[in-house]
């Protein structure tokens, strides 16, 4: 039996709105489909993050929880070290915003982020709530996802620095707020997609697992997921 893929689930109680915990379940499921064992380390604030995990996962959260999570991560330091060594990181919504330079706190003032990706977040003119569809940008590397689906609920909009590629171009919804959605920088994927993101977009899960294991995975399509995606695209885009 091969060594388990070790997944660090970061502060699931602070950063786990809208079922984002489903991303860890999906990573385990997609790994199991290929016979890969996994081990999940759920890290609570105050506990040290593991330095040697193969994959790190952050979910979304309310503004106050987001600031608390960011401060705890800054103090801990292990996520920065993980980013430094190229470990894959999936970050949803609040988790995504806090990887940048600054993001709005509950009063709307800028709170300092972890500066692991060159991006920053400010308040959108109006809260973005609803389904989000985006098409992949022209970026080699991220497994053949044809289209991304999820839903969003955030007050912040994100501006990417010059060296950071968006995950996609918005087809429906708001995403980053400028027509782009999410960000990819090295092995870090940040996105506004809830859903949970990896349930609706298993290609992203597979890409993270490939980065984590360093080996290509056999493609697997699950009918229930294909049906869910098709239903969401029909409902949001018509046709």
Name the residues that contact ligand GLN, by CB under 6 A: 17, 60-63, 66, 93-94, 97, 153-156
Spatial CB neighbours of 153, under 8 Å, sequence gap ≥ 6: 17, 18, 60, 93, 127, 128, 129, 194
Q: Is 20 or 206 the residue whose CB approaches ligand GLN more closely?
A: 20
Tokens 């027509």 sit on residue: 179
> Which residue of the set 70, 154, 187, 194 is catalytic?
194
CB of 226: closest distance to ligand GLN in angstroms?
27
29 flagged as catalytic: no
Nearer to ligand GLN, 49 or 94 (CB): 94
Q: Rounded distance, CA 25 to CA 35, Å?
A: 15
For the chain, the first-to-last Cα distance in angstroms comes to: 46
Minimum distance, C-beta of residue 217 to ligand GLN, in the bound complex (Å): 29
The two structure tokens encoding residue 71: 């401060």
Q: Which of 93, 154, 187, 197 is catalytic?
A: 93
Q: Is 154 a catalytic residue?
A: no
**What is the nearest approach in angstroms of ligand GLN to the Cβ of residue 193?**
11
Which residue sits closest to ligand GLN, CB atoms considered?
60
In angstroms, give the least distance from the CB of 195 to ligand GLN: 12
> Of 54 and 173, which CB lies nearer to ligand GLN in the complex structure?
173
Residue closer to ligand GLN by CB (options 154, 229) is 154
Catalytic annotation, residues: 93, 194
């Amino acid at each position: 039996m091969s060594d388990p893929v070790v997944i660090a689930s970061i502060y699931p109680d602070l950063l786990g709105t809208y079922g984002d915990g489903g991303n860890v379940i999906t990573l385990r499921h997609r790994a199991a489909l290929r016979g890969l064992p996994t081990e999940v380390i759920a890290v609570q604030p105050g506990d040290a993050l593991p330095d040697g995990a193969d994959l790190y996962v952050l979910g979304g959260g309310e503004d106050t929880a987001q600031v608390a999570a960011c401060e705890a991560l800054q103090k801990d330091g292990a996520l920065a070290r993980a980013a430094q060594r190229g470990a894959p990181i999936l970050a949803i919504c609040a988790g995504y915003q806090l990887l940048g330079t600054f993001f709005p706190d509950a009063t709307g003032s800028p709170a300092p982020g972890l500066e692991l990706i060159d991006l920053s977040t400010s308040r959108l003119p109006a809260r973005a709530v609803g389904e989000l569809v985006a098409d992949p940008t022209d970026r080699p590397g991220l497994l053949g996802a044809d289209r991304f689906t999820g839903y969003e609920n955030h007050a912040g909009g994100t501006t990417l620095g010059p060296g950071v590629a968006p995950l996609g171009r918005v087809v429906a919804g708001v995403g980053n707020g400028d027509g782009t959605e999410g960000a990819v920088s090295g092995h870090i994927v940040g996105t506004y997609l809830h859903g949970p993101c990896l349930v609706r977009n298993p290609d992203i899960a597979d890409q993270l697992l490939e980065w984590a294991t360093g080996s290509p995975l056999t493609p697997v399509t699950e009918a229930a997921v294909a049906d869910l995606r098709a239903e969401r695209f029909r409902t949001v885009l018509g046709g």
